[in-house]
């Protein structure tokens, strides 16, 4: 009997892997198709003043398919975004219990979501809705979304089965029992707590829900699942008809995915990934090193300059730091640079990736706050250049004071320096064109992302820098990252409905204003919060997690939202390199040429000081961030 059961389970796992991989491949195809109509529309509009009708609805439908067909992929790879700072320190028994608990809890949640999406599809089939231009029937796409959720359920069942098997192998039978029973108890809470204070005292419910979310994150439940769960269960608790919020979930999840505004996310990510796999980073470092390495600390300064240049293409700090490190660390090591200082320079330079536009952090800030993405991009330019300059000054002074840390490199003739720019200028020119076109109103942020991705691909093909394998890897990485972020975005929207219903953001603003009349004291508290959170979370999850609650308070206190966007992103990035657990520092330390974390942190402190100085300058002189957006837009 056991042999038959094991055989069936193996077949189920093989079938799940096969179906999920094929669905993920279709999602990759959707991403490719998203670029084509927008790029053609921009080209046609620029040469003939004509436009392709229905581009927006095509993008929305492709985005819906991309998101839901790809959700199961990260689940099978255990690649969803979570907070793993505390989890490794838990006892093994608790770790095994939590895996069973997480996957059982998420399995029920996604099953409920799938049935609600399926119900919407059946309803739309009886009363068909059509797109405005091409008159495409929408209900089949809801069935596709339900199918993608079914694949996610299959992936969760596989993960749950593995977690249970591990518990049984270690004789942790209590972990299995608790891990399977506690999720059922969670979903029964709306009925168990009926007519208690939590069902009518909305402020108590909202604050309890927020604390429960923090607990789930500390216990390493994936952020998207945790926010979706608290949002849904919280709404069920305060709603007399406990099941009606499930219908909201069935409508809200597809609408979040089927958004033209959200389609900017995969397009800018694709632009960065294509640049990454095209080897643009090595060109940037080579050019910077030939121009700068005769200076004291020249190679380290070149690394920061390379990070700044790659940041203008990639938009993600972790990718910027890791990519430039793979190129620059071996070179600096061969020139006898102090390894701790070299790693600190690259880790700190990587933080420019989220500040210098185009920035994925600014994209999500704009989505959450509904502020102008173009203004946010422009607001990050001067602070980003200022921060990069301060980093370079610190490295120069450090090398002058202690020459043994960074020996001076060889001198290159001007002709060779100029030749080194050949591989850099076209890509930087494309970035200027994309940002300039968006600022001039020639195309929208979504169109800018598509043009940037298409242009990067064209440059890579013309220069023969992108192999077929690299192209596929860039597409897969873009879809994978988009899937993880969109799961969080779906959770953010549901959690946001719950927060709005309980009036927590408004009350939080009132409480803070009642505690102190100094808005700068409140700002100082936000600074501390973001630095602490940055030690445990990446920037995008932090933005999605905290802004729905903090942003109304910032508005109520009269801070400029564009200025606050720059400060927010900078503060969150600071947390990525601060002790005790800077995520970027940890990653660079683990590279083949990396230094011990303690050695890196010894030098990182200098760069953290630069970031705090920029925050202070932005606070004292907000026009550092606001000058360009106020002048150009």
Q: In the prediction, which pLDDT does 536 show?
A: 65
**Is the N-terminal amide bond of 580 cis, ω within 30° of 0?**
yes
* Alpha-carbon span 217 to 219, nearest angstrom: 5
∠ CA 436-270-452, rounded to 5°: 20
> Could you identify the residue written with the tokens 């999500």?
364
Q: In the prediction, which pLDDT does 296 show?
A: 85
* Alpha-carbon span 380 to 358, nearest angstrom: 9
Q: In the prediction, which pLDDT does 471 show?
A: 92
Question: Could you tell me the sign of the dihedral formed by the alpha carbons of 426, 432, 435, 438, in that order?
Answer: negative
* Alpha-carbon span 34 to 46, nearest angstrom: 19
* Alpha-carbon span 223 to 466, nearest angstrom: 34
- On whether the pTM is more than 0.95, the answer is no
Domain parsing of the chain, residue ranges: 2-257, 264-632
Q: Which helix (H) or strand (E) holds 92?
A: helix 92-126
Those residues whose C-beta lies under 8 Å from the C-beta of residue 296, and which sit 6 or more positions away, are 396, 399, 400, 403, 406, 408
Q: What is the mean pLDDT of residues 257-271?
A: 86
In 442-577, alpha helices (H): 445-462, 468-502, 504-515, 519-534, 539-556, 561-575
How many CA atoms are closer than 13 Å to the CA of 248, on its beta-carbon side? Answer: 21
pLDDT at 1 over 50: no
Q: What is the pLDDT of residues 363-381, one digit of tens each?
A: 888 888 888 888 898 898 8
Q: What is the pLDDT of residues 50-78, one digit of tens each?
A: 778 888 899 999 999 999 999 999 999 98
Name the token pair of 143: 């069935």
**Is the N-terminal amide bond of 552 cis, ω within 30° of 0?**
no
In 219-297, alpha helices (H): 223-238, 244-257, 264-277, 280-292
pLDDT at 463 over 70: yes
Contacts of residues 591-599 at CB distance under 8 Å and 24 or more positions apart, as own/partner, are: 591/322, 591/325, 591/326, 591/329, 593/329, 593/330, 593/333, 593/339, 594/325, 594/329, 594/339, 594/343, 595/339, 595/340, 595/342, 595/343, 596/340, 599/339, 599/340, 599/343
CA distances in angstroms from 379 to 188, 315, 607, listed in the order given: 47, 15, 21
Those residues whose C-beta lies under 8 Å from the C-beta of residue 517, and which sit 6 or more positions away, are none
Among 343-357, 473-487, 598-612, the range scoring the smallest mean pLDDT is 343-357
* Alpha-carbon span 113 to 572, nearest angstrom: 32
Contact yes or no for 583/319 (Cβ under 8 A): no
pLDDT at 424 over 80: no
Q: How confident is the model at residue 237 (pLDDT cuts 50, 70, 90)?
A: very high
Q: What is the pLDDT of residues 496-536, one digit of tens each?
A: 888 878 877 667 666 666 666 677 888 888 888 887 777 66
Q: How many CB atoms lie within 10 A of CB 93?
A: 13
* Alpha-carbon span 505 to 548, nearest angstrom: 7
CA distances in angstroms from 202 to 77, 198, 238, 245, listed in the order given: 38, 7, 7, 16
* Alpha-carbon span 509 to 44, nearest angstrom: 48
């Amino acid at each position: 009997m056991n042999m038959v059961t094991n055989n069936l389970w193996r077949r189920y796992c093989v079938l799940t892997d096969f179906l999920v991989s094929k669905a993920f491949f279709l999602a990759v195809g959707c991403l490719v198709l998203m670029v084509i109509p927008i790029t053609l529309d921009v080209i046609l509009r620029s040469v003939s003043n004509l436009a392709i009708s229905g581009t927006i609805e095509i993008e929305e439908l492709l985005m819906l398919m991309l998101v839901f067909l790809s959700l199961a992929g990260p689940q099978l790879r255990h690649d969803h975004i979570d907070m793993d700072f505390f989890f490794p320190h838990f006892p093994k028994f608790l770790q095994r219990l939590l895996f069973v608990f997480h996957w059982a809890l998420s399995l029920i949640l996604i099953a409920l979501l799938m049935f609600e999406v399926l119900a919407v599809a059946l309803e739309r089939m009886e009363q068909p809705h059509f797109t405005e231009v091409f008159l495409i029937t929408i209900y089949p796409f809801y069935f596709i979304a339900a199918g993608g959720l079914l694949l996610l359920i299959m992936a969760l069942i596989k993960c749950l089965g593995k977690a249970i098997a591990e518990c049984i192998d270690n004789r942790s039978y209590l972990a299995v029992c608790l891990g399977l029973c506690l999720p059922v108890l969670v979903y029964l809470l709306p009925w168990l707590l009926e007519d208690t204070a939590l069902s009518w005292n909305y402020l108590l419910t909202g604050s309890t829900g927020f604390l429960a979310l923090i607990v789930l994150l500390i216990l390493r439940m994936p952020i998207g699942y945790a926010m979706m769960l608290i949002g849904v269960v919280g709404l069920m608790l305060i709603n007399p008809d406990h099941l009606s919020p499930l219908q909201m979930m069935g409508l809200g999840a597809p609408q979040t995915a089927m958004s033209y505004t959200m389609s900017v996310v995969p397009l800018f990510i694709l632009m960065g990934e294509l640049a990454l796999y095209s080897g643009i980073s090595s060109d940037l470092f080579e050019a910077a090193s030939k121009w700068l390495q005769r200076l004291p600390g020249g190679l380290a300064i070149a690394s920061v300059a390379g990070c700044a240049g790659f940041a203008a293409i990639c938009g993600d700090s972790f990718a910027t730091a890791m990519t430039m490190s793979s190129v620059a660390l071996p070179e600096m090591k061969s020139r006898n640079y102090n390894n701790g200082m070299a790693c600190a320079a690259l880790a700190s330079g990587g933080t420019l990736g989220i500040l210098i536009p185009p920035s994925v952090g600014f994209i999500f800030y704009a989505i959450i706050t509904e502020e102008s993405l173009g203004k946010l991009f422009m607001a990050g330019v001067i602070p980003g250049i200022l921060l990069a300059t301060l980093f370079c000054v610190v490295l120069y002074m450090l090398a002058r004071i202690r020459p043994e840390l960074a020996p001076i490199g060889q001198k290159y003739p001007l002709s060779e320096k100029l030749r080194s720019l050949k591989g850099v200028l076209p890509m930087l020119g494309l970035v200027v064109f994309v940002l300039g076109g968006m600022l001039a109103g020639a195309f929208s942020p979504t169109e800018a992302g598509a043009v940037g991705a298409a242009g990067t691909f064209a440059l890579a093909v013309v220069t023969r820098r992108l192999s077929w394998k690299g192209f596929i890897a860039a597409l897969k990485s873009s879809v994978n990252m988009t899937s993880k972020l969109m799961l969080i975005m779906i959770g953010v929207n549901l959690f946001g409905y719950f927060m709005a219903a309980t009036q927590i953001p408004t009350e939080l603003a009132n409480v803070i204003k009642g505690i102190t009349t100094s808005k700068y004291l409140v700002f100082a508290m936000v600074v501390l919060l973001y630095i602490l959170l940055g030690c445990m979370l990446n920037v995008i999850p932090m933005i999605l997690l905290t802004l729905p609650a903090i942003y109304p308070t910032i508005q109520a206190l009269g801070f400029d939202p564009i200025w606050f966007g720059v400060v927010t992103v900078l503060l969150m990035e600071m947390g990525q390199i601060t002790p005790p657990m800077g995520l970027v520092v940890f990653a660079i330390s683990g590279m083949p040429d990396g230094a011990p974390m303690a050695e890196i942190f010894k030098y990182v402190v200098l760069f953290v000081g630069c970031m705090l100085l920029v925050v202070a300058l932005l606070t004292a002189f907000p026009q550092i961030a606001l000058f360009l957006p106020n002048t150009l837009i």
